[in-house]
A and B are shown apart, each in its own frame.
Chain A
Amino acid sequence: MLSPRSLLIRGMLVGLAAGVLAFVFAYLVGEGPIDAAIAFEEAHSPPGEPGSVTRTVQSTVGLLTATLIYGVALGGIFSMVFAAAYGRLGRLGPRATAALVALAGFVTVAFVPWLKYPANPPATGSEDSIGRRTSLYFLLLVIALAALALAVYIGRARVGRLGLWNASILGAGAFVAVVVVAHVLLPTIEEIPEGFSPLVLWNFRLASLGTQVVVWTTLGLGLGALVERTLRREAVLTASA
């Protein structure tokens, strides 16, 4: 029998691993575009006051701190969603449940917001619009979470009549419909400065999405493997007792 306590501990451990791997990926793939963007910023704007934190610290200890906190927090909440989903998704075992929850999580909180409001490298956002951009980003995030809740609700309500497969397709269709409407209705933000390299922008945004792929893949596969191992051990102990 799984307990919420043991799942939360495992979720945070897996989140720690996800944070480390995200740091490695972001450092290797993402820091190049960030440096290129900062070089563009320095070439095109009057020199401002030097930052209180050096670039070396930002790209190493700072980045690692951010990805670790992000990973542990996300791992904790991920394990709680897993705890709620496990045993309630037909006969899916722990590994399949964790993979499915991670896929849903990635699509909902990372991919859908990224499609409309992708991450921007330094030098490409206006200071004046940070409030508006932040509001729109979190609004879309909330809409995506609501769409996921709607999809789960519709799927569960229809599973008796349509069967698990078709009810899942119906729920996923509802999710896509809500997200598409939100993407069409919400305003587009376009503030990339003249002359900014499209390649740097593209590489940065891919690196940002890739970081999320690393995080969610680690969470899904890692927690599934840990819980599977725990259940097998318990089954062995029960059988031999």
Chain B
Amino acid sequence: MSSISSSATPSPAVQPVAIPWRALQPWLLFGAVLAIALLYFVGTEQGVFHLIGGSGVHEFVHDGRHLLGFPCH
């Protein structure tokens, strides 16, 4: 292992290698869906739409919602 840390670090490949689209598609789709769902709950749940009753979610993330720039009451 010491040979690795002491040897000069070579720069990564000069030409960056792209990830093929086929390999990316499912990750892009799932990542986008999951992120949108999470952002919805932080950003607008119990604002215009109510998936969960009451105002607990809204009140709890209240300050974050205002400061992250989402429209709020």
Interface residues, chain A, with chain B CB atoms under 8 Å away: 1-5, 8, 22, 26, 30-31, 34, 51-53, 57-59, 61-63, 65-67, 69-70, 72-74, 76-77, 79-80, 83-84, 86-88, 91-94, 97, 110, 113-114, 117-122, 125, 127, 130-131, 133-135, 137, 204, 207-209, 211-212, 228, 231-232, 234-237, 239-240
Residues of A within 8 A of B61 (CB): 62-63, 65-66
* Complex Cα spacing A65 to B69, Å: 16
Q: How many residues of B contact A (CB 8 A)?
A: 49
Query: Does the CB pair B35–A77 fall under 8 Å?
Result: yes
The reply to whether the CB of B39 lies closer than 8 angstroms to some CB of chain A is yes
Q: Which residue of B lies closest to A37 (CB)?
A: B66
Residues of A within 8 A of B54 (CB): 52
* Complex Cα spacing A161 to B52, Å: 54
Query: Does the CB pair A70–B42 fall under 8 Å?
Result: yes
Residues of A within 8 A of B51 (CB): none
Interface residues, chain B, with chain A CB atoms under 8 Å away: 3-4, 7, 9-19, 21, 23-24, 27-28, 31-32, 34-35, 38-39, 41-44, 47-48, 54-56, 59-73
Query: Does the CB pair A4–B9 fall under 8 Å?
Result: no
Query: Does the CB pair B24–A120 fall under 8 Å?
Result: no
* Complex Cα spacing A122 to B60, Å: 14
A-B residue pairs in contact (CB < 8 Å), sample of 10:
A26-B63, A34-B67, A63-B64, A73-B34, A80-B24, A83-B19, A91-B16, A119-B70, A127-B73, A212-B68
Query: Does the CB pair B59–A74 fall under 8 Å?
Result: no
Q: Which residue of B lies closest to A35 (CB)?
A: B63
* Residue in contact with A130 in the complex, picked from B12, B39, B62, B71, CB distance below 8 Å: B71
Residues of A within 8 A of B44 (CB): 134
Q: Which residue of B lies closest to A59 (CB)?
A: B63
Residues of B within 8 A of A22 (CB): 68
* Residue in contact with A62 in the complex, picked from B31, B32, B34, B64, CB distance below 8 Å: B64
Query: Does the CB pair B73–A122 fall under 8 Å?
Result: yes
Known: A63-B67, A77-B31. A91 touches B15 (CB 8 A): yes
Smallest CB–CB gap between A239 and chain B, Å? 6
Query: Does the CB pair A80–B47 fall under 8 Å?
Result: no
